[in-house]
Amino acid sequence: MDGEELTEQETQLYDRQIRVWGADAQRRLSKAHVLVCGIKGTVAEFCKNIVLAGISSLTLVDNRLVTEEALSANFLIPPDEGVFGGETVAELCCDSLKDFNPMVRVSALKGEPSSIDEEFLKTFDVIVVSCCSLAEKVKSVNEKCRKLHKRVSFYTVDCRDSCGEIFVDLQDYKYAKKKLEDTVECQLSYPSFEEAISVPWKAHPRKVSKLFYALRVIERFEEAEGRNPGETSISDLPGVLKLKKELCDSQSLNEAHIPDVLLERLVANSKEFPPVCAIIGGILGQEVIKGISGKGDPLKNFFYFDALDGKGIIEDISSEP
């Protein structure tokens, strides 16, 4: 993302944040191209943050039509139902985001993550995926990103009830951070999403967040039942609990690590909780900015938040010890 310097207009517009992270970081942001697949409340918060930060372009992909659920958490969709006119979620969000920062090119693209090819993906620096099945995350996007000759940062985000998860794959990533009075160069190696969730549970070095396990159970349940992400209800709880037992037995994990009450919350209340959307969307925006600018310690590689205890937990689930 090396290129020309910031224009005078950019320097004036982004003066405050340049004072925070420097002109070089802002220059990198101003050349960055971001693709987002799936736009619910959490991703709407992220898009707002990254557009205000001053990236070069944002491309939105979400073919869903507006529903009552979408209106409950996605502030980018106008509340007046009369204005929809058959437009997709991506098209409506695109119109709203353009008002936040006219210097950022925002566009909506019709299509599905499964139809995106490598030639198209290589035109981006960052890809954020939400509302997608396990197969779409792994096969349609993350694997293709890793086959490219350039490094493309990959993120997934999921928010259910008052809980949230972020996954980060920066591949082989170099960055700078301050240590006392000096700036030191650091490097991290990230696993893909499939590699991370394939690490045997019994091989985890310590007690991992209960949300990691609970979301893997629900992910597997939705995949087995042919459901779209979030298409669960309380009537599915017996099937989810049965699958939990099977997975815990096969992974040699004590069932107490995945409380039934947590699974019940996530299954029965799969809609997003707007205040948590703001928290998770803000953290995701911060991580993407760090990833683009190359400044500061990036998250590696899972982040979890539960509003019930107010804790944010980082889990590094990379490989077998």
| SS3 readout for 85-145 | CCCEHHHHHHHHHHCCCCCCEEEEECCCHHHCCHHHHCCCCEEEECCCCHHHHHHHHHHHH
Q: Percentage of the chain with pLDDT > 90?
A: 68
Give me the pLDDT at residue 212, please: 97
pLDDT tens, position by position, 184-216: 899 999 999 999 999 999 888 778 999 999 999
Residue limits of CATH 3.40.50.720 in the chain: 8-193+272-315
Enter the CATH code of domain 8-193+272-315: 3.40.50.720
Degrees (nearest 5) of the Cα angle 98, 104, 106?
55
Q: If you average pLDDT over residues 109-125, what whole number do you get?
A: 90
Q: Tell me the pLDDT band of 30, cut-offs 50, 70 and 90.
A: very high
Closest CA to 44 of 285, 314, 232, 211: 285
Give me the pLDDT at residue 128, please: 97
Distances (CA, A) of 233 to 66, 257, 285: 20, 22, 30
**Statement: residue 70 has pLDDT above 90:** no
